[in-house]
Amino acid sequence: MSPMTAAPRPADQDRLAPEDRASPLLTGNGLTKRYGEQHALSGVDLAVGRAEVVAIVGPSGSGKTTLLHVLAGILPPDGGEVLLDGQRIDRLSERRRSELRRGAFGFVFQAGMLVSELTCLENVALPLLLAGSSRATAMATAESWLDRLGLAGLRQRRPGEVSGGQAQRVAIARALAHEPSVIFADEPTGALDTHTGQETISVLLDAANSTGAAVVIVTHDPAVAERAGRRVEIRDGLVAGRSAA
């Protein structure tokens, strides 16, 4: 990994492709967030280009997950703004933010967070059904994503009947099936051994690349951060460094 630059740049604009400098896909400007007296974000600027892969790194408690949740519309910021394709999304109603999360965003979490009562196939189909697809379309799309990720044999198994690495692949299929423009991944390899973690990141990045989705990954693992096109280091709720691959 190239060393983090000590002096933060005002924004990421200079790292983005020319077409993204004018309008990045996802932008956070001056983001602040407090939990009571605890300042989790103290003024973060971050821009993510189309199909870009950005890793958010930094010590435990520095604000990485909070930043991910604010960018993804899970948490509203206290200050600053979040724009998707130039449109403010931080001031939307909870209902509109929820619709946005189902349509434009996909999520991969550390422990998969699959619904244990549903089969792997139904887990992948679920976001499509929630986004309004017919059952037949949702099941067919889910089947094709499971096949694509080498999971055809697991369609009828429940999450408790597959390995951790397989469960993360199912979670990746679920995150991508509705072809979102941004995938948010929070410690996607945190529960996996090193080898399975690297395989899982490859599956995630290849799948995102095939649909043109941007990926924002929070990770403690330098080997995972290394796979991103750009790394942003968060310390004490502020951007402490940025580095390109």
Ligand X SMILES: Nc1ncnc2c1ncn2[C@@H]1O[C@H](COP(=O)(O)OP(=O)(O)OP(=O)(O)O)[C@@H](O)[C@H]1O
Q: How far is the CB of 150 from ligand X (least distance, A)?
A: 30
Cβ-based nearer residue to ligand X, 28 or 127: 28
Report the nearest approach of ligand X to the CB of residue 39 (Å): 8
Give dist(CA 182, CA 173) in Å, integer.
14
- Choose between 35 and 153: whose C-beta lies nearer to ligand X: 35
Binding site for ligand X (CB under 6 A): 35, 38, 40, 58, 60-66
Report yes or no: 133 and 102 within 8 Å, Cβ to Cβ.
no
Q: How far is the CB of 41 from ligand X (least distance, A)?
A: 8
C-beta closer to ligand X: residue 105 or 109: 109
Query: In degrees rounded to 5, what are phi and psi of residue 53?
Result: -115, 115
**Whole-number Å distance between alpha carbons of 109 and 185:** 6
List the structure tokens of 136.
């037949």
Nearest distance in Å: CB 45, ligand X:
17
DSSP state letter for 51: T
* Residues in Cβ contact with 120 at an 8 Å cutoff, skipping those fewer than 6 apart: 114, 146, 151, 154, 155, 156, 157, 158, 159, 162, 170
Nearer to ligand X, 64 or 178 (CB): 64
